[in-house]
Structure 1
């Protein structure tokens, strides 16, 4: 429907309305001027009604648009609330998974002893699920590992063959100790000490 406010008042006195004027004159028994005026009045009344209907439609359309905008705003707010709730829940889950630092006594002095560590060779054997002599976990084996670690550079590498593939590994992880002893040559005390340290490692 076009905007009736843009319509132009027709000229009912023109020849285009000759037949219409004649019909009105015959029915109402009036002259041409009166018939022209009657046509103008009829057109004005119809035009006013069209304008009223047009304005009512504009008002209804505006209300519908406002209602739709309100509903869309509510949907957007609900989606935003759900998104914020999910983000908050995810943040809480991340916080739960973060490692917690246990409380400590500030008045307690730090330990003055260092737990002995076996050599890189023994550790590499354990990582590879290979057999390694318990001597490497004994006090003598750990002492030698400490001395060897101090004397060798950390960036020294050697070539090893693993599944027909040549790989570079730290020298300390490849070289067995010349002083290593088989398990049955260990004393009972050395055996117990090595066993306990191997479990810790």
Structure 2
């Protein structure tokens, strides 16, 4: 619909009773349509048309106001979006600055350093343990913790590497993927080192959400069984128990982490005495064999020494005095 260019509210009805209009209307007068009727009909027609123009004008004015309101709202919305975008950019900038800023925690006034140096395994071992994966106990021994401290002094802890995660490639600290080249197999550890290592391991896993409560309790029971086992007072008994602990812990971790339906993990807290005794017998056999092997060179050496002490007839001379 074309726009109304002029405000009809200012229009006034023409004087249809003037001589000019009367002269025109007289030409239309008939017996059925007298002059008064013509004048009134003209007034009524003008009034109806004027009312229609007023209504159209009012709608146009309202439409203009609505359009202006919408434009104003759009401008305000764009302004708000620009403001929020600027705030977000500023927030990101501040976050980036904060991220690059070295993280320094506050300290408690007058609080002294601990009397004992805390045993802190390397990130590789902690990550393995946290994810319920097999990790050698050596990492949790004093030697392993000392190696971790030495490594921390020479390797940046901020170095990252790409690894495959559940949601794709992710950046993780490189230290959690780097095993030590000094690691000692569990079977080769001493009883003291094994005891220290298991204590640190249990302290780490007892609050880990990846470790179910019953698994932690089973592992605690396992180590308590070993600590109180009668073989500890027997010759080489602790060595056999260390081998047993090393074997069953690795097998248990492999089974509880297995995705194969037919594998039913055993209870590590229930000691298999037959296996313990079999390992103990094998340890004793190896000790006896080792003694026998070491005794052979000694006997051979003594035999050679006894043979060389007998004088050779070709080298025997009789000396006579003149």
The two structures have a TM-score, normalised by structure 2, of: 0.29
The two structures have a TM-score, normalised by structure 1, of: 0.45
| RCO comparison, higher one (Cα < 8 Å, 6+) | 1
